[in-house]
Structure 1
């Protein structure tokens, strides 16, 4: 009986450890937010990775075209502040399309538990670039 229980437990952990990835922009948005984008949001590009573990570790990149009201609400709900420390490169794994202009305003979460997520308001083309990481 102990062997059977051990085998069952090991099987559960092996089966439940599949990563989830996507580069479909709409799917990436849905994996991130949990709903389809509204009509005011155009999802241009996306990349998503989620660990297969129960901890829901994930990394995502999004490029959005949206109106000012969405962005203002998003900043407020997520407690974003302007990040005064400019990082030229977020990670070596960022996609080629993730390229906010030098005129972008960089935001971060106003919290001591900042894991490095950054949000960019590109004033050149009114796009929003999102790099979010939860580990």
Structure 2
């Protein structure tokens, strides 16, 4: 790691894991919980897409996460319809748990995917 990396200065290394969930009539919301391990967590949302058997109706996905003012308000982030826009790629959507994804309208299935980043202490850098 170069000395100019922001992670080397903080003595933490990022560990990334593939993350995903499904929203549908049976499960209209999904919660990414806050971990109690004193590490920093971040969810990078990358893709929202409709399943092959989603009906030709509007599917609206909203996210409820704490904003800069500490409020929790659901914000629509995607409106998908199979015949018009079955999938959206996102860039720059970084969310700090706890996060709730909600299927506001439509029956789904709607699939969300991205990365769950954990900043772990880098014991080798500390030594």
Whether TM-score is above 0.5 comes out as no
The structure with the largest helix share of the pair is 1
Higher strand share: 2
The TM-score normalised by the length of structure 2 is 0.25
| TM-score, reference length from structure 1 | 0.24
